[in-house]
Amino acid sequence: MGLPLPAVPILIGMGALARSGDFSLPGVLLIALTGSLAADLIWYYLGFHYGRSVLGVLCRISLEPDYCIRRTEDAFVRRGIWALPLAKFIPGLNAAAVPLAGMIKIRFLRFLAFDTAGLVLWSGGYATLGYIFRNEVERLMLYLSKLGTSFGVTAGIVVGGFIAYKYIQRRRFLKTLTVERITPEELKAIMDTKHDVFVLDLRNQLDVNLDRFRIPGAFHTLPELLEQEGDIPRDKEVILYCT
């Protein structure tokens, strides 16, 4: 469901235990597939019926929610439905890809086929990895158990420090945005006075396709193309907007 649980280490560990004879590898894969598919069907339904708001809620737990959404949309623009199975292996994309597939109204049977294939590759790949490298996994677990609580404390400090760093970095970024930001009403007032401004629509192509409304006269481009655009005037005030 997108909760921050260590799914990959669990799959690798279960694969190693299956090699030891404690569990059945097909049983491990079947349970992993069933649980993952059940969660994905729920997110697909929510994305299909409630649209972008669901994607925003899901990405809110991310340290960079706007980047999380944008990166997922860009992946679908470049690779289409093939982004769905690939996203299973990329942190950040894996949680957002499924509701996005519902949001852009990918047909259910098509979604089911590609999502199932991705889940089989994902769960099967990591469980098989643990199955093959059972001895190495057991040695690693033995080594970590000898470290005891010191390992957990060290890992907690590292993770906590990283989260704090990203949070402070993001707060600084948002503070610079609030200084330079204007409201839609302010922009309309500027345009009504015939003030010469150049408006750039930086929304992802998926958002443009889903929402046909646009600020009148706005020029649509992608952020990565900004430096290549020769038509952006240097003698006008430039206003940027996105989703």
The CATH number that applies at residue 219 is 3.40.250.10
Evaluate whether 36 touches 119 at the Cβ level (below 8 Å): yes
Same domain, 135 and 225: no
Same domain, 15 and 133: yes
Same domain, 191 and 113: no
pLDDT at residue 33, as a whole number: 93
Same domain, 132 and 190: no
- Sign of the dihedral through C-alpha 165, 167, 173, 178: negative
Same domain, 21 and 121: yes
User: What's the rounded Cα separation, in Å, for the pair 238 and 215?
Assistant: 14
pLDDT at residue 115, as a whole number: 93
Same domain, 113 and 198: no
User: What's the rounded Cα separation, in Å, for the pair 6 and 14?
Assistant: 12
Same domain, 133 and 192: no
For residue 134, is it within any domain?
A: yes
Q: Which of 147, 176, 202 is the last residue of a domain?
A: 147
User: What's the rounded Cα separation, in Å, for the pair 31 and 127?
Assistant: 12
**Residues linked to residue 197 through DSSP beta bridges, in sequence order:** 237
pLDDT at residue 233, as a whole number: 76
Same domain, 188 and 139: no
pLDDT at residue 64, as a whole number: 59
Domain count, the chain: 2
For residue 162, is it within any domain?
A: no
Angular region, 194: left φ>0, alpha ψ -120 to 50, beta rest: left
Same domain, 21 and 122: yes
Q: Which of 147, 167, 199 is the last residue of a domain?
A: 147
For residue 199, is it within any domain?
A: yes
For residue 156, is it within any domain?
A: no
**Residues linked to residue 85 through DSSP beta bridges, in sequence order:** none
For residue 79, is it within any domain?
A: yes
| Residue-range definition of the domain harbouring residue 221 | 184-241
For residue 154, is it within any domain?
A: no
Same domain, 25 and 138: yes
Q: Which of 125, 147, 169 is the last residue of a domain?
A: 147
Same domain, 20 and 87: yes
Residues of the chain with pLDDT under 70: 2, 4, 56, 58-68, 92, 144, 151, 173-174, 176-179, 223-231
For residue 169, is it within any domain?
A: no
pLDDT at residue 41, as a whole number: 94
For residue 32, is it within any domain?
A: yes
